[in-house]
């Protein structure tokens, strides 16, 4: 499928763009890290999955809403995955109880 080929060929470009996204939030005290992976979505489209790991086990609503808006905007502005033939998905993960 062309979409898969396009995504695979451009893995380095994806990694570079995600790195720029991660750098934007390096100093945000609420963000532990931002992970990414390339995988098929529910319909089989090769896609970019962004997982934002938060620094709190129970983050407050204001923090989640702020980061949700800011990171979604950064996906459009910095990552621009649709240019590369990839949908971007954004999820949040609270810090596990064991702190890892």
Q: Does 54 bind other proteins (CB under 8 A)?
A: yes
Instruction: In whole angstroms, give the CA distance from residue 62 to residue 68.
Output: 10
Instruction: In whole angstroms, give the CA distance from residue 51 to residue 90.
Output: 6
Candidates 4, 22, 25, 89; binder of other proteins (CB under 8 A) is 89
Instruction: In whole angstroms, give the CA distance from residue 89 to residue 93.
Output: 13
CA terminus-to-terminus distance, the chain:
38
Residues in binding contact with other proteins, number by CB under 8 A: 33
Candidates 20, 33, 37, 77; binder of other proteins (CB under 8 A) is 77
Find the shortest distance in angstroms from Cβ 92 to other proteins. 4
Given a contact cutoff of 8 angstroms between Cβ atoms, the answer to whether 51 and 91 are in contact is: yes
Q: Please report, as ranges, the residues that interact with other proteins according to CB under 8 A.
A: 2-3, 41-43, 45, 47, 54, 58-59, 61, 64-65, 67-69, 72-73, 75-77, 80, 82-83, 85, 87-94
């Amino acid at each position: 499928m062309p979409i898969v080929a396009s995504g695979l060929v451009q893995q380095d470009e994806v990694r570079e763009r995600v790195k720029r996204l991660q750098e934007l939030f390096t100093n945000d005290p609420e963000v532990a890290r931002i992970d990414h992976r390339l995988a098929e979505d529910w319909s089989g489209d090769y896609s970019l999955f962004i997982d934002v790991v938060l620094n709190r086990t129970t983050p407050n609503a204001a923090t989640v809403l702020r980061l949700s808006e800011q990171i979604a905007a950064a996906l459009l502005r910095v990552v621009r995955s649709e240019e590369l033939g990839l949908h971007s998905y954004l999820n949040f993960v609270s810090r596990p109880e064991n702190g890892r």
